[in-house]
């Protein structure tokens, strides 16, 4: 899969489109194929380095539109998309 990742705090140039492995969902998760994603003010603050506890490599964006025939806005409930 491809994802825009925040490589380090800074300007918008620190957002990089990168290939990533497709994660396997656990028993309490589902995998959603995303057609579009929006960012919110929190994502902008993360990019600017306002929260020093955010790890490098995060995938910003928590509001996604799944690739389905229905128009559904899904908010992923994850611990702010940190990578391991």
> How far apart, in Å, are the Cα atoms of 4 and each of 16, 17, 24, 41, 83?
5, 4, 19, 16, 13
pLDDT digits (tens, 9 = 90+) for 28-78: 887 877 777 887 888 888 888 898 888 778 888 777 776 655 444 444 444
pLDDT band of residue 83 (cuts 50, 70, 90) is: very low
More confident position, 47 or 83: 47
Split into its structural domains, the chain has a count of: 1
Residue at 84 is within a domain: no
Residue 33's pLDDT is 78
Q: The domain containing residue 45 runs over which residues?
A: 2-75
Residue 37 lies in a domain: yes
Question: Could you give the CA distance from residue 19 to residue 1 in angstroms, rounded to a whole number?
Answer: 6
């Amino acid at each position: 899969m491809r994802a825009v990742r925040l490589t380090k705090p800074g300007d918008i140039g620190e957002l990089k489109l990168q290939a990533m492995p497709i994660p396997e969902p656990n028993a309490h998760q589902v995998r959603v194929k995303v057609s579009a994603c929006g960012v919110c003010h929190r994502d902008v603050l993360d990019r600017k380095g306002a929260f020093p506890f955010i790890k490098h490599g995060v995938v910003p964006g928590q509001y996604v539109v799944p690739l389905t025939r229905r128009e559904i806005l899904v908010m992923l409930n994850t611990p702010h998309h940190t990578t391991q």
